Chain A
Amino acid sequence: MSSLRDFSKKKKPEDYYVNLIQELERINGRLHAFNEISHDVDRGFPISVKDNICVDGMEATASSRMLKGYKPPFDATVVQKLKDAGFSVLGKTNMDEFGFGSFGINCISPARNPFDEERVAGGSSSGAAVAASIMKYHLAIAESTGGSISAPACFCGVVGFTPTYGVISRYGLIDYANSLDKIGFIARSSEDISDVFKLSVGKDGFDSTCADFKPLKKEKDRLVIINQLYERLDKGIKASFDRSVRRLSAKGFKIGYEDVNEIGYAVPAYYIVSMAEASTNLAKYTGFKYGEQLTDFSMDYNSFFSASRNVFGEEAKRKIVLGSFIRSASVRSMYYEKALKVRRLIINRLKEILDGSFIISPSMPVLAPKIEEARAFTPVQNYSMDVLTIPPNLCGFPSISLPSDYVGGLPTGMQIIGDHMEDLSILSFGKEWEKDFIYRFKYNIGEI
């Protein structure tokens, strides 16, 4: 059932929005889903916007101290389109600083998992997933570079959809890695996302990489599991995934297994490309013009810049240093250019499979870890957690993460990958799954 239609049909009490905002603020004090909650909403279906996406007049910090106080004088194209369609922006959601993280902990106050508040919400769109998980009627505009929608959607038991690269304009998105960033959605059903997705696509005069959405319609009933990924799964996740696969098989899907020997290289290739691009995107933050601003202009500009750039978080600094190194002239061909070729190799190989099938896997190889556990991971351990979400993101394929099971009270997710422009097909797959799999939620703020 589409909650969009349900919401518009329902008669709401006069103080509906006031109460919604009040209740949300109360719970947000514990869960840290929102960086800012608007008090101006009195109509429309409530949506939230990840804090790296611009909303005219609201702060856009990307959860970075570097951008504190930055109020863009423009709406992101996607925000503009949804505002025009009658949606209301309820607030800006928390995230890993600039999108750099898989657990939502690289920021000042990490969002907490509604299913177990000691655990992470997943990242980087942590607040977006929590928002969708705690509100009865909600749609979160989120963004993914390497899995930032699937990971938190999986951990918070909601649907996360990442479209084909370039079908939704990136105008108004604070860049992480321009050839990888995709604006997408997190909500409680594939149907809601499908409705909003159709409103959000289309060419845009402000983002030249944004292409017309020309849906590819192919009947597919075959689901492929990649052996090399399946082998890497945590025991509990494997068992849970097997149960989901059996359900799908009972629904009539054919299950296939294929080898993709190169798939393991997707993670390093992704991190090389994304860090190279990120390090240039982060160069613009130099302590004047917007956000973090120093006032002692009499310092020499180099010292001024360095002094201001100290407020970057640890992962941001790591990406600046590594990204700058791997694009330097002496090693560029070894890392940056090589990674782009590996990307081509993986796109070509996965396209062969996607020609007649969808690719299916769990969304994350583990259950949501405790915040303290996640903090103890080394960077390489951290990056390896993205092994399942990176292949579609590196290749610009659309993917959807659906809640698929509950293990020890925590949700697990499965991820379905389609070919470029098969966005609507995988959303339909989600609707099919939701026909007889009931999602569970801990909160229902705004229930009517």
Chain B
Amino acid sequence: MKIGLEVHVALPTRSKLFCSCSTADADQPNTNVCPTCMGLPGSKPYLNGEAVRIAKSVCIALGCVVNGSISFVRKTYFYPDLPKSYQITQIDGAIGRDGKIKLENTEIRIRRVQIEEDPAKLIREDRYSLIDFNRSGTPLVEIVTEPDIKSEKELKEFLYVLWSILYYLGVDIDKEIKTDLNISLGSNRVEVKNVTGIKNLLDAAAYEASRQASLLSRGNEPVKETRRYDERSQRTEPSREKESEEEYGYIYETDLEDYDTSKIKTGDIEADVRKTAKSIASRNGLDYDTIMQLVAFDRHSLSLLNHGLNSTAYDPSTILNVVEAGKRFRSSVNEKSFSLIAEYIKAGVQIDKEIMERIRKGLKPDYKTPDKLKIREFISKELENDPDILKRYRKNPKVIDFIVDTVSRKYGLPQKSVAEEAKKILTGEDD
């Protein structure tokens, strides 16, 4: 068996690859967008230096030769999620080449590491498609391996090693990873395009391996083709679209230039982060491994912890939540707001856009307990929204905890007062 992968992972920058829009999750589609990432006529790309820096660290971590001068190409193809109908990516001028990942018994060669932009998110509907450009322009690296993986076991091991290497660069492939899988048991190459997530990738490989093996056992050679993986049926099937190399018609992207990478400082990133994490841990009496997991070499989170964790002691779950909020509201969480966010979290308040607005204004959580009537109104509203709850409560009185939790989180109320009122309503005590 021969397996080669093209793995796409997102780089943890604050802004997109070619424009200044935020890469943070948004509550609404098409809000972190501008003329450039929507591909409007008249817009131009401008390269994010931080994406190049992180990509360079990825290359170093994968033992690649880092090209001293990099450039981009236009890969032209048509799909509704591709705003300009070409993707800005790299080939000859790619940032890295000729690397390798060591596994226990073998070595997987890395052919190329290239920087490219993510297309928009597309939702298929029966009679149209829905497109969200928030994701459009997110910086990715594509890691292209040689077809050196020889078994499903090696594939698993490779992914685990790749995951742990990238994790310390702040690149979390467990979260969102898209892979093109080349797999052949016979002499023809079969490509399974666009497999999302690690689990699906392993399942797709397993399915293909057995499909091709069974064809071969009957004396049939699997045909050279492009297939897609269907999550629901856990099978691969022939893809409708046939794309050949010819169709991409690569040309140099002349809206951009050649970029010198030799002067970009990556330092010994791993050592730097370890040092800072250790210092945070010792200062605050926290577990070093917890810190490492929290920051995952995400410089923003690291600096948040480093500067925000000074005075107060927090329990790990609060810290986790602050860092999560930091990741979500990347542009507006800073060291100053750290303690404030922690306070809201301790009060059981969910951090959302409105709360962030309060935090930006420096407002503390509102501890004043609203009058009982108000609390009861909130609880009744919740019960109306979900009439089944009462039935479930009758079967299992513990359901009350769920209601209390929901209401107190939603309205930022102390759990105790909500519990008191909820009990009265549900047991019918006050009638």
Which A residues are within 8 Å of any B CB, using their own CB?
Answer: 53-54, 60, 62, 67, 70, 72-74, 76, 170-175, 177-179, 205-209, 276-277, 279-280, 283-284, 286, 288-291, 297-298, 301-302, 305, 324, 327-330, 332, 336
Contact = CB atoms under 8 A, between A and B. Distances in A.
Given A283-B85, A284-B83, A289-B83, 8 more contacts: A54-B42, A74-B42, A170-B44, A171-B44, A298-B126, A301-B80, A328-B246, A332-B249
A333 to B, nearest CB: 12
B86 A290 contact: no
- Considering the complex of A and B, which 10 residue pairs feature the smallest CB-CB distances, nearest first? A283-B85, A297-B128, A179-B254, A327-B249, A298-B127, A178-B254, A54-B42, A174-B41, A284-B84, A172-B42
Nearest to A66: B41
A214 B42 CA distance: 26
B42 A173 contact: yes
Nearest to B244: A329
A209 B255 contact: yes
A206 B44 contact: yes
Nearest to B248: A329
Contacts of A301: 78-80, 129
Contacts of A289: 38-40, 83
Nearest to B46: A208
A327 B252 CA distance: 10
Interface of B: 35, 38-47, 74, 76, 78-80, 83-86, 126-129, 245-247, 249-251, 254-257
Contacts of B246: 328-330
A70 B41 contact: yes
B52 to A, nearest CB: 13
B128 A67 contact: no
Given A74-B35, A284-B41, A290-B41, A327 B46 contact: no
Nearest to B241: A302
Contact of B44 (A207, A277, A279, A336): A207
Contacts of B247: 328
A164 to B, nearest CB: 16
9 contacts: A54-B41, A74-B35, A178-B254, A208-B47, A283-B76, A284-B86, A301-B80, A302-B78, A328-B249
Nearest to A298: B127
Determine which residue in A72, A74, A289, A290 has the highest number of CB atoms from chain B within 10 A of its CB, and name it.
Answer: A289
A280 B74 contact: yes
Contact of B86 (A208, A280, A297): A280
Determine which residue in B38, B47, B251, B257 has the highest number of CB atoms from chain A within 10 A of its CB, and name it.
Answer: B251
B279 to A, nearest CB: 36
Determine which residue in B35, B42, B44, B76 has the highest number of CB atoms from chain A within 10 A of its CB, and name it.
Answer: B42
Contacts of B85: 280, 283-284, 286
A167 to B, nearest CB: 15
Nearest to B128: A297
A67 B41 CA distance: 9
A98 to B, nearest CB: 10
Contact of B251 (A60, A172, A280, A330): A280
A17 to B, nearest CB: 27
A297 B42 contact: no
A277 B250 CA distance: 10
Contacts of B245: 329
B331 to A, nearest CB: 18
B97 to A, nearest CB: 20
A72 B35 contact: yes
Given A171-B44, A284-B84, A208 B256 contact: yes
Contacts of A207: 44, 46, 255
A283 B251 CA distance: 13
Contacts of A70: 41
A165 B126 CA distance: 48
